[in-house]
Chains A and B, each alone.
Chain A
Amino acid sequence: MKHSTFFWFVLPSAFLMVLFIALPIVSIVMQSLYTSHEQVLEIVESCGPFGCTEETSINQEATQALQAAEPLGKFAGLDVYKDRNHLAFAEIASAWVNADGLPDFGRTLMNLPFYSALVFTLVYTFIVTPLTIILGFFIAVAVNSVAKALKGPTIFLTLLPFIVTPLVGSLAIFWMVDARGILGNGLQWLANDPNLSVKASTPLMWIMLMFYGVWHSAPFAFVVFYAGLQTVNTDSLEAAMIDGANRWERIRYVVIPHLFPLVTFVALIQLMDNFRVFEPIISFAAQAHATSLSIAIFNDLGGETRLLSSAAATSVLTIIGIGILLSPVLVRTYRDFSKPS
């Protein structure tokens, strides 16, 4: 393709990407480096149906004057990143000095909001991503060998978890595992413990969230692998059969190597998606047991006082986290494509 043709071809999407992806990222990076101005407080009398009280309030005029002078806020550098609600350098340093052994240090770390969110996010990502790929692959192989007449309905049913809106899908499961729901009650009966409740136990809640994660995204992996299976060279398969390879060996030595580039693709998408785990925690009301980086951002923006700098800092950290996670896959893809063919 000529360079000028290529340029005009990608211009619209490049423009949209700058507008909707690059500029917002620049904006959150800026936001995360600034904090609010010092609030000028004053004591005023406030009256309402319950009488009058002396209350502290913000002096709007004085605060606005500060704001007008420096509209971006007060430059804070990396202070927001370093504070207790994010990377908590000071707290970690003191915990490292004062901790009574590694387990104690770990407990202190897990007590810091950013690290407990990060631990859950990473555990979730590293358990859900491989399970999704494996499950998706086996579903694809199984569906591929279903009789032709049944294929359509089977594919539709398999895709259902992916089609159902995440919030609705997780709410349906949430009510089933409720202590009075069908699965929750069944679990109590199985364990013979009337007080057992998925929603009350942190380990069970984590398992539940990950189970949901796999259930929801396996169909995505399935669709990709199923499409890939249609392109497997039948000659190679027949040759393998003649050589005496059984079904498993044919999958292991012919199908999997053929699908491997797709595994990279699915892993890439799933790592990005799972690192931003959000909906299931909301709809399982799991915030007492698990928080993720996205939940931390949501909480910063959803409180009565919006913490924009804090949310921006967590967003930047999330982007960095995704970058680190994806770098091995990206490097690999880059090498594959830059190999002289």
Chain B
Amino acid sequence: MSTTAGWRLLLGLALRRDRVLTGVWIAVLVMMSVASAAATPSLYAAQADRVHAAEALNASPAIVALYGPVLDVTSEGELAMTKMTVLYAVFVAVLFVVVVRRHTRVEEESGRTELVGGTAVGRNAPLAAVAVETVLLALALGVLTALGNTASGLPLAGSVAFGGLWAGTGLVAAGIAAVTAQISASARTCAGFAAGAIGVLFVLRAAGDTGPEWLSWLSPLGWNTQVGAYAATRWWLLAAYPVLALALGAVAVALRARRDLGSGLVAARPGPASGSPRLADAFTLALRTSGTTLVLWMAAAGVMGVVFGMIAPGIGDLLDSQTAQSIIDELGGELVAAILSIVAVVLTYFAATVVAHTSRDETDGRAELVLATGTSRSAWFGATLLVALAGTALLLVMTGLGLWIGYVAADGPGIGNLLVAALAWVPAAWVVGALAVLSLAWGTRWTVLAWVWPAAFMVLALMGDLLELPTWVIDLSPYTHVPAVPSEPWSWGSATTLSAVAAVLLLVAWWRFRERDIH
């Protein structure tokens, strides 16, 4: 029997299971791209306006660190796709990581791979099936994006290149996920590794775009800019994505051959024969099950903070030496605020992972095991929300500390307390975390919304103006109510209001969780 026997069956099953997830995700991505392409001519009618805008973007290291530079300031497409090229490509990458992980390690952890493996399905069939699926998804995403951008008035050739670089980003992300899926027996840890790898690639590119350029060439996300879809296109660079993806796929297959089904690369050590006396209630259990994830996230948040903290003061070098100290401070502050606006959303996903974990405890029957003991529903529920919300706050503290350390290490001038800048996002993150908790409280089938809230609010904040949505709709996002500390002063009003909203949401969630059936 070939090691990939049966992959067609698995592919059919996967496509069927994913049709809503991938359909909606790809539709949103294409819509974002099309909206950006269509909005640019109305925002910047004259060529001179566009050049001016592009030069302004390039002059702001904060923007360059987040979005990458505009390679050709005269190109309408380059300007229109500023946010899409790198930052939204991260959302492309996340989709592919989710899909690959879902059909490899998650299936293995649940035991379904074993079920399938007992039939006439080869060892590498799951990998082969998901590889084909990701190629199909990448093709769909690339073609739809190219068509959409062309239809919105951008040049055809550039749109094809742009569709190609998004598709390429997806393939590389799929390769990364395929490799990380082999490392640990825990699907959650594998997701952490994949997210970490993408984070490193993003930071590498941000550092390269604002500093030594060769760093950007080390990151596929840096290639996204360097392809220059709507500038002097480097078509050959598009070939680099599938080559890297194939190489990663080969590594994944080689690693798969070195391990047993259900295990990681490192053989599982035997656990303790008895439990610590401290592991005795719902809260310590939640800490025990989410602790490793929290520590990994804390390390990532801290490192990311240090890196961006070190970039922040360096941007002064790009300015004319006569530039006043205050302007440097302001630019540094602007960078910190811009970075934090994204980081805060990403860190809110920690709350989503905790909520999702509790939800799986319930659907798998572990909650039943606990709730049949002296542990009350309130304790079980309280443990989840405490770990989710305190964990998110802790992550923002780590980010702030990292920013501060990096900033001081790079001899940055005083731009105030960067810890405060990070803490300013805590109440907004709590509101979104509370929404995730409320989704779980309403019923496990709603828990999927925990993943939707942060993304929806970020899209609202990032795209609201572009889509010309009414202000009240944009204001629905808690993230829009956070002052851009340190560029703006800390606001007690916003912090108190957002915290109060979070508290109300949690009270409603608690009431609902105490009343509903546990299945």
Are the chains A and B members of one assembly? no
